Amino acid sequence: MSALEVAGGHDAVLLDLDGVVYTGRAAVPGAAEALGRWHAAGLPYCFVTNNAAYPAARVAERLRGFGVELADADVMTSGQAAAAELAAQLDPGTPVLVVGSPALRELVAAAGLAVRTPPAGDEAPPHVAAVVHGFDRDIGWHGLTAAIRAIRGGARSWATNPDPSVPTEDGELPGNGTFVDIVARFSGVEPTVIGKPAATMLIRAAQRLGARSPLMVGDRLSTDMAAARAAGFACALVLTGIDDVHAALTAPPEARPDTVVADLAQLAQALPEARVDGDGAVCGDGRAQLSGGRLRLAGPPRPAVQAALALTAGMDPAGLDLAEVPRRFDA
């Protein structure tokens, strides 16, 4: 099987991590094996993560622990993308206030910019041309106020990612977006966001791979699918994570997936184009039918859901009854 056949005609795959390759500390069943088949077929892939707290090498090492074959360069973090964007828009040596982890500071310095850090006390922040804000578990009041004061003084505001929370063993806790929102509220300036749902990180990852027609695979509509749509890339929702079939069918156009799969292995199973005819649609042996607003599916689940995606495109989700539609399906 050729690389293009594995990815349904796409020349590379971009993948989210949590909910796609692993969930917490456990591997998603079959994910590493599917990636191994892609690797053997010569299909390039890159993992794109909003987490800017750790170097790409550390993320890659964790993935290897789940049995995934990859090089460190097969990981793109929002910190890497942010440093590259700053370097592209600022002159070398420009002072930048980094409110984030040591990994983010190292990336900004390696990009040729002059890193400044928040003062430990109440003194005025250093004069900088830009502020970049990434997740750091040690962030505190002084770091936030330094960012606010610098932005009020005219510095441009950047954020690696807007995620409001991070998953932990104790449930969701405040993430980078929570602190970014505080800075935006008190500075009066919305930041330029680099990570998902913005397009920037995905575009840079595709450029790194030399891909012109990549497929983005993720488990969240609001970040993974939205970023793909913003970048103009095709996207697939995988059901091993957060969002489900109901969410996909009622998603707005800017976050709607092109296809839904039970797991990564299903991406190698090509589907014919869905055809809509009045209140019904067919995709291979799968069928979707609307009657009085109620949606019913018949046939194998994946092509049936594909037919439903075509049938409900552009519909007002408020008028869609999904009571008989399964939220998830197996491969």
> Helix, strand, or coil here: 277?
strand
Q: H-helix or E-strand containing 38?
A: helix 31-41
Tell me if 248 sits within 8 A of 310, measured CB to CB. Answer: no
DSSP letters along 59-118, please? Answer: HHHHHHHTT----GGGEEEHHHHHHHHHHHHS-TT-EEEEES-HHHHHHHHHTT-EEE--
Q: Tell me the two tokens of residue 244.
A: 């489900």
Q: Considering 11, 18, 138, 263, which one is annotated as catalytic?
A: 18
The answer to whether residue 16 is catalytic is yes
- Could you tell me whether strands 214-218 and 234-238 are parallel, antiparallel, or unpaired per DSSP bridges? parallel
First-to-last CA distance in the chain? 20
Tell me if 42 sits within 8 A of 266, measured CB to CB. Answer: no
Select from 177, 207, 208, 210 the least CA-distant residue to 194.
177
The answer to whether residue 279 is catalytic is no
Dist. CA 303–CA 186, nearest whole Å: 49
Chain position carrying tokens 């966001």: 193
User: What is the set of active-site residues?
Assistant: 16, 18
